[in-house]
Amino acid sequence: MKGIDSLLDELETNAAEAATSTPESIVAKIENELPVTPAAASGDMEQVIIDLEESNTATPPEKSTEILAGGEENILPVIEEPAAPEVLEEKQPEPKPKKASTPRGARFTFDGKDDAFFEKAGLQREDFMKCYNEAPVKAMDKIQNIMHWFSGGPDLSVYTRISLHSLIADKTASSNSLKLAMMSYPEKPYPVGTASTQAGQMMAVFPALGIAEKDGKSLTLNADSPIVKKFMAEE
pLDDT of res. 108? 87
pLDDT of res. 39? 41
Model's pTM, two decimal places? 0.56
Give the pLDDT band of residue 189 (cuts 50, 70, 90).
very high
Segment 111-119 mean pLDDT: 93
Average pLDDT, the chain: 78
- Are 223 and 199 a contacting pair, CB within 8 Å? no
Select, from the ranges 4-13, 15-24, 94-103, the one with the highest average predicted confidence (pLDDT). 4-13
Segment 73-99 mean pLDDT: 61
Segment 165-190 mean pLDDT: 96
Name the strand (E) or helix (H) holding 222. Answer: none
Give the pLDDT band of residue 194 (cuts 50, 70, 90).
very high
Select, from the ranges 56-60, 85-89, 151-155, 162-166, the one with the highest average predicted confidence (pLDDT). 162-166
Alpha carbon distance, N-terminus to C-terminus of the chain = 147
Segment 51-73 mean pLDDT: 55
Give the pLDDT band of residue 65 (cuts 50, 70, 90).
low
pLDDT of res. 33? 58
Segment 132-155 mean pLDDT: 94
List the alpha helices (DSSP H) in the chain: 4-20, 23-33, 38-41, 45-56, 115-120, 125-134, 137-150, 158-170, 175-183, 192-208, 226-234
pLDDT of res. 107? 81
Segment 10-18 mean pLDDT: 63
**pLDDT surpasses 50 at 210:** yes
More confident residue, 7 or 38: 7
More confident residue, 34 or 206: 206
**pLDDT surpasses 60 at 225:** yes
Give the pLDDT band of residue 235 (cuts 50, 70, 90).
confident
Residue 147 has φ and ψ, to the nearest 5°, of -70, -35
- CA quadruple 129, 133, 138, 141: dihedral positive or negative? positive
Instruction: Pick the range with the lowest mean pLDDT from 24-38, 171-185, 193-207.
Output: 24-38
